[in-house]
Amino acid sequence: MPSRLHAYIGTFRQLEILLAVYEQGSITAATQTLFLTQPTISMQLKKMSDAIGMPLYDQVGKKLVFTEAGVAAVAAARDILGRFEELESRLSDLKGLKAGTLRLGVVTTAKYFIPHLLGEFCSVYPAIDVQLNVANRSQILDRLERGQDDFYVFSHPPENEDLELYDFLPNPLVAIAPIGHPMTKKAKVTLAEFAQYPFLMREPGSGTRHAIEEHMKKFGIKLNLKMTIESNEAIRHAVMAGLGVSILSSHTLSYGGHVGLQELNVGRIPILLNWQLARLRSKRMSIIASTFLEYVNSQGRAKLLRDLADEQPHMRRFFNADTAIS
């Protein structure tokens, strides 16, 4: 006999509310994305809970902890609403349009180049909306765990058998110092000499920090860590102010970010990494996601590489604009 649960759970709006509360982590945060009052959201969730016959979540202090039933309901809500998004995209495709929503989750350093990729993409496909979620690595990993986005951009992706990776863009980490620093007057500096100066580092959990620590460990070098800073921009300004030296993605110096700074020629640096576009194999690729991947492969990536090379000529040695995602 067919399930009648759908007759009791309620409206699609309730599914949207459930998903928003789960993804935002609290009812208060969900009010800002849904434009609903807290009592309204609480009432709709209670109706769902009563219909299911089990609580959706427990209140532990100020934190919502979803029950097993709640997590199952969230998964169903995501699947149901995703199906309607696919239907919308499919109908638009049949009409000769590309319309829908593309969701991207990117780590903070990727924000320096992803908007330049999206600008052209949105120009080619004006009916596609983009939700760009920029956060630190741990927050993007959380979004990945929840399957909230179509694609994720990492330089240091997690080990996950369900993750499909596409080499996207070189991400060289370069040594920087303020203009006029003693090391800027030298043709080349050893890694050991560089490590003696006060060093400004990204926060624990940062992909950049992980790469730097692994690189230094490989050569038995210990940095003179002076300050931990949770922002590339803050590190750049701190270096400019003479508080220390650092190693950052060369992309942070693109599009005008190099003013007041000088890249150093340090032995065994740059640290050569790659940006990777990632998606969950277990999540169906929507027409919109497929369109984006096709665009990146056919023209977007090559154009982005050329633009970056024009902005930062010294980066051309890392780029091969003829290489497409495979």
Whether residue 18 has pLDDT greater than 60: yes
What share of the chain in percent tops pLDDT 70?
Answer: 90
Pairing mode, strands 224-228 and 198-201: parallel
Instruction: Report residue 6 CA to chain centroid gap.
Output: 35
User: What are the tokens at 233?
Assistant: 């921009």
User: What are the tokens at 142?
Assistant: 């959380």
C-alpha triplet 263, 271, 312: angle, nearest 5°: 40
More confident site: 176 or 87:
176
Name the DSSP letter for residue 28: H
Q: pLDDT tier at 1 (50, 70, 90 boundaries)?
A: very low
User: What are the tokens at 71?
Assistant: 């997590």
User: What are the tokens at 169?
Assistant: 């863009």
More confident site: 206 or 87:
206
Helix axes 114-124, 287-295, angle to 10 degrees: 110
Other C-beta atoms lying within 10 Å of the C-beta of residue 101? 15
**Which amino acid belongs to residue 219?**
F
Q: What is the pLDDT of residue 255?
A: 64
Whether residue 199 has pLDDT greater than 50: yes
Q: Structural domains in the chain?
A: 6-77 (1.10.10.10), 98-169+274-318 (3.40.190.10), 171-272 (3.40.190.10)
What share of the chain in percent tops pLDDT 90?
Answer: 56
Whether residue 72 has pLDDT greater than 80: yes
Residue bearing tokens 């009010």: 31
Q: What is the pLDDT of residue 96?
A: 59
Q: What is the pLDDT of residue 284?
A: 82
CA distance 221 to 213: 9
Mean pLDDT throughout 232-260? 89
- Taking only Cα atoms into account, the Rg of the chain, rounded to an integer number of angstroms, comes to 23
Report the candidate in 97, 116, 98, 96 with the shortest Cα–Cα distance to residue 106.
116
Handedness of CA 105, 111, 115, 116 (dihedral sign): negative
CA distance 318 to 300: 17
User: What are the tokens at 130?
Assistant: 């983009």
* Helix, strand, or coil (residue 231): coil
CB 253 within 8 A of CB 261: yes
Least confident of 89-93, 112-116, 183-187: 89-93
pLDDT digits (tens, 9 = 90+) for 247-261: 999 888 876 667 889
pLDDT digits (tens, 9 = 90+) for 142-188: 999 888 899 999 998 999 999 999 988 899 999 999 999 999 999 99
| pTM for this model (two decimals) | 0.76
Residues forming a β-bridge with 168: none
CA distance 155 to 190: 26
User: What distances in angstroms separate CA 255 from CA 104, 113, 133, 319, one per listed residue?
Assistant: 22, 9, 21, 17
